[in-house]
Amino acid sequence: MDMPYTPKIKPWQIVAVLFVFAVTIRFFTTTLYISYLDMYMNVDWAKGAAADLFRAYNNVETMDYPPLYIIMLVPVGWLYNHFPVLAEFDPYTLMLIKSVSILFDSLCVVLIYQIAKKHSRELALVGAALWAIHPAFFLNSAFWGQTDAILAFLLLLSFSRLEKGCPVSGTVIYALAVMTKHQAIYFGPIVLLELLLRHNPKKILQSVGAAGAVYFAVYLPFMIGLKDPLFFINVYTRAFGMYNAISVEAFNIYGIFGLSFKPDTTPIIGWFNFTHLGFVFLGLSLGFLIFLYLKAKRFSPWVGGFLFLQCVFMLTTRMHERYQIIVLPFLLMAWLSTKRRDFFLLFTSISVISACNHFLAMMGYRYSGELPGVRLFALMGRGFSLINLAVFVWSIVAVWRYAFEETSADDGSIVPQS
């Protein structure tokens, strides 16, 4: 007796289902957390952008993001301005303002599969599924409504083009990331190293020229509207000056000592303060990155992005609770492209730590002054910071081993040097 024919499910169908599930579960949980500190500030940005986009920075005092994210908010602001109930009833307001982040967060599911399938279709599906259910990004986009998923999407797309040997499109997309969120600037050294070490001068000039043209094409209308020819720089320096704390609830080395919200101009020894210490650590991290690019037996932009942002988050000042989350797409791609177990375990560990960092910060912001056991929450922050320091050391060791150990020619397994 013949068995009935069962149609084979294609990978793209699984990815489509994961995308739909990701959008659905995120969209219908948007009302479960209300943050008046951030989300209603973004509502003002959306309204101001829709009313007068190119002068919005003068009309909305709190607006401190680069213009591409503000442009993304225009359709949302138009809906708020033309249908007032959407801005007056909290569930509608939150669903709408968080929708941009949720869309990009869910699109990352599709993008991760598309990038990783050349290494392994099965693992690419696993990676897409891990993103669809990822607790830290779920808290970041669906609950809080932050923009880190937008940055993750653009950086994933940019670095995938760089990895593929397409520097022009990769650099242009990186410019878009810089115009979306300030944190993208930290990835500049990796993009520059990829260009300098892997491409000829002509390709480098084409890439930088194309990225610069796109950058100024976006900024020019704002520079004219605001009557500020240096707006393309001032928007970054102004934002950097607004957050001068050693740490803002971040689980890093400063969190171990309870230095959150203390000014980074606090002296350490004489004139040497935490700002100076942060720049010293940033320089050392950059030097380590350059050394690996020049001397490693193998290296990739995914591993470089993971390592450098780990160093930046753990060692430099002015880091916020959610800034480590951008390490995760790079770490996930490092695992999917190398299949190394230590990268997978690091991805799991940092995912949990980042989710906990989001949760404790969100609880503190939402119930400021009302939480019972506030001292316990402070002790938990110090404890997680200490654990994160141990994971950071593990990260350095894992990257070093990946970069310098010999690879067996027959099966691709890692064989220590004798």
Mean pLDDT for each consecutive 10-residue tract of the chain (418 residues)?
A: 65 94 93 77 94 94 93 96 88 91 97 95 96 95 93 98 96 98 96 96 96 97 95 88 87 94 93 96 97 95 97 96 96 96 97 94 68 67 95 97 72 39
Q: Are 128 and 119 in contact (CB under 8 A)?
A: no
Q: 344 CB contacts (<8 Å, ≥6 apart)?
A: 335
Strand partners, 263: 245
Q: Is residue 333 part of a domain?
A: yes
For 256-308, what is the HEC assignment?
A: HCCCECCECCCEEECCEEHHHHHHHHHHHHHHHHHHHHHHCCCCCHHHHHHHH
Q: Are 102 and 144 in contact (CB under 8 A)?
A: no
Q: Are 172 and 141 in contact (CB under 8 A)?
A: no
Q: Is residue 280 part of a domain?
A: yes
Structure tokens, 356: 């906990």
Q: How far is CA 39 from CA 85, 93, 147, 248, 289, in A?
A: 16, 9, 11, 18, 36
* DSSP-based three-state secondary structure for 233: helix
Q: Which amino acid is present at 24?
A: T
Largest CA distance in the chain: 88
C-alpha triplet 361, 362, 367: angle, nearest 5°: 105
Q: Is residue 151 part of a domain?
A: no
CA separation for the pair 196, 207 (Å, rounded): 11
The radius of gyration of the chain from alpha carbons, rounded to an integer in Å, stands at 22
CA separation for the pair 193, 159 (Å, rounded): 12
Range of the domain at 343: 243-406
Contacts 24+ apart (CB under 8 A), 40-44: 40/93, 42/73, 42/97, 42/145, 43/80, 43/87, 43/93, 43/97
The predicted model scores a pTM of 0.93
Q: Is residue 299 part of a domain?
A: yes
Query: Which of 340, 315, 332, 362 is CA-nearest to residue 414?
Result: 340
Q: Are 362 and 37 in contact (CB under 8 A)?
A: no
Q: How far is CA 93 from CA 37, 59, 180, 418, in A?
A: 14, 21, 22, 62
Q: Are 104 and 150 in contact (CB under 8 A)?
A: yes
Query: Which of 347, 350, 361 is CA-nearest to residue 388?
Result: 350
DSSP state at residue 140: I
* DSSP-based three-state secondary structure for 117: coil
Query: Which of 101, 50, 211 is CA-nearest to residue 219?
Result: 211
Q: Is residue 208 part of a domain?
A: no
Q: Is residue 78 part of a domain?
A: no
Q: Is residue 370 part of a domain?
A: yes
Strand partners, 269: 272
Query: Which of 177, 186, 178, 135 is CA-nearest to residue 315?
Result: 186
Q: Is residue 217 part of a domain?
A: no
Structure tokens, 411: 């099966």
Give the pLDDT score at 368: 58
CA separation for the pair 294, 200 (Å, rounded): 16
Angle of helix 274-295 relative to helix 301-315, nearest 10 degrees? 160
Number of structural domains found in the chain: 1
